[in-house]
Amino acid sequence: MSAAKRGQQAAFAELCERHTKRIFHTAFRITRNREDAEDALQDSFLSAFVHLRKFDGRSSFTTWLTRIAINAALMKIRKNRAYREVSMEEPVDVGEKRPRYELADSAPDPEERCAQRERERIVTAAVRELRPAIRQAVEIRQLQECSVNETAQTLGISVAATKGRLFQARAALRKASRLRVVGQARVRRAA
């Protein structure tokens, strides 16, 4: 023990070898899963190695290491609760019924892509129709991703004036997009 405390890795490895079986069984009783018990075992040895100099000998090394292993196993269980795993394999028995899980395609479907392109077209057209001073404020703020202060500096106007132009732009864009949507709905109904 004293050699391990002085930093001799071989001595610590010997201590670990001596207690591996007992610590594994302790972790397995808590986790009830071989892989989790092995992870807890590794975590407890790592923690013991890192904190070995803090071991003051008030209890036996085995007791100290077992307490570390119990804590590591409990942490493993807590982490697993947050991340539930579901087997995606087919049922082993013919009579066994398990729901089939399919991963959802995260790519937008053709209808969503079309709607997105339409929204982009409407916004682009509405931005083109803005007064030049307002359009310039929107382009600097949104396209160049500048802050309001940076936009004001670039335009050579006050922050309040910049905020005013951006407010006018948002109002005009909302109005323009509503008018376009209403107009398109009328065209579709007429057709």
* pLDDT 10s digits, 127-157: 888 899 998 998 888 878 889 999 999 999 9
pTM over 0.85: no
- Per-residue tokens: 2: 């004293």
Query: What per-residue confidence (pLDDT) applies to 82?
Result: 72
Q: Residue 190 has what pLDDT?
A: 67
Q: What is the pLDDT of residues 83-125, one digit of tens each?
A: 665 555 555 555 555 555 566 667 778 888 888 888 888 778 8
Give me the domains of the chain, ranges plus CATH numbers.
2-82 (1.10.1740.10), 110-190 (1.10.10.10)
Residue of 187, 185, 191, 181 lying closest to 118 (CA atoms) = 181
Measured between alpha carbons, how far is 43 from 179 in angstroms, rounded to an integer? 62
pLDDT at 164: 94
Q: Which amino acid is at 18?
A: R
User: Are 81 and 73 within 8 A, CB to CB?
Assistant: no
Q: H/E/C letters for each residue in 99-130?
A: CCCCCCCCCCCHHHHHHHHHHHHHHHHHHHCC
